[in-house]
């Protein structure tokens, strides 16, 4: 009778996943954010409109809009919502259920 103890290999454990980093596309002020949007949309529109006049090389200006938008136009829109709501809304989580509610006036950060 074979009485050798077979040792099963232990699977390596992965570290617990950390919370994903919070994405923040907001600007310091609404006028600054709107200026970034005007630059971004201006670059996109200008690069497309100028193709018949200056040729396809003008399309090289379109990727610069991604820098102004900090990503894509959708990222810019999310940032606009974050900029407008900064200090006015807060997330409250109770028993695993999270809601968004108005922030208390005392909790607002000085602007």
DSSP string, 25-51: ---SSHHHHHHHHHHHHHHHHHHHHTH
- Kindly report the pTM of this predicted structure: 0.59
Q: What is the domain partition of the chain in residue ranges? A: 30-103
Query: pLDDT tens across 8-51, in order?
Result: 666 555 555 555 556 677 888 889 999 999 999 999 999 999 99
Query: pLDDT tens across 45-75, in order?
Result: 999 999 999 988 888 888 999 898 888 899 8
Backbone angles phi, psi at 3, to 5 degrees: -110, 25
């Amino acid at each position: 009778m074979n009485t050798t103890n077979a040792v099963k290999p232990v699977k390596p454990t992965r570290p617990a996943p950390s919370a994903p980093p919070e994405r923040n596309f907001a600007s310091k002020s609404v006028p600054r954010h709107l200026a970034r949007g005007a630059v971004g949309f201006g670059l996109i529109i200008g690069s497309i409109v100028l193709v018949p006049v200056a040729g396809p090389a003008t399309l090289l200006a379109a990727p610069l809009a991604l820098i102004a938008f900090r990503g894509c136009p959708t990222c810019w829109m999310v940032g606009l919502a974050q900029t407008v709501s900064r200090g006015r809304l807060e997330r409250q989580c109770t028993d695993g259920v999270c809601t968004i509610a108005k922030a208390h006036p005392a909790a607002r950060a000085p602007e």
